[in-house]
Amino acid sequence: MAYHKIDWEMILHRHKRVKDCAEEWGISKRRVQIYCEEDRIEGAFKYGQYWLIPKDTQKPPEKKEEDKLISCRCMICFFPNPLQLK
C-alpha cells in the first residue's frame, strides 16, 4: 500500500483532481468531467476511475451556440420542421 500512496502523491504534485478544478473554475464536478470526456482539456487523462488535469490548465471556453445546436441528435432537432421550409 505504501507504493500506491507515494505514486498518488507524485501524480497530485503535477495534476489536479476534478474536485479541485470545479472549485477553482466555479462550475460543477460533472461539468469538469464532461470537459474531460469531450477532450476539451488538454493533457487530462483518466487514472483508474479518476480524471487528472494538469495544474496549469485554464478553464476551456464555452461552446458557441451553433456548435450546441449541431451536437443535438434528437428527432425534433435533427429533422427540419416542414412548416419552416416554405
Res 16 pLDDT > 80: yes
Higher pLDDT, 16 or 78: 16
Residues with Cβ within 8 Å of 52's Cβ and at least 6 positions away in sequence, in order, are 11, 15, 16, 17, 44, 45, 46
Asked whether the whole model's pTM tops 0.85, one would answer no
pLDDT tens-place string over residues 32-85: 999 999 999 999 999 889 899 999 999 998 877 655 555 555 656 556 655 555
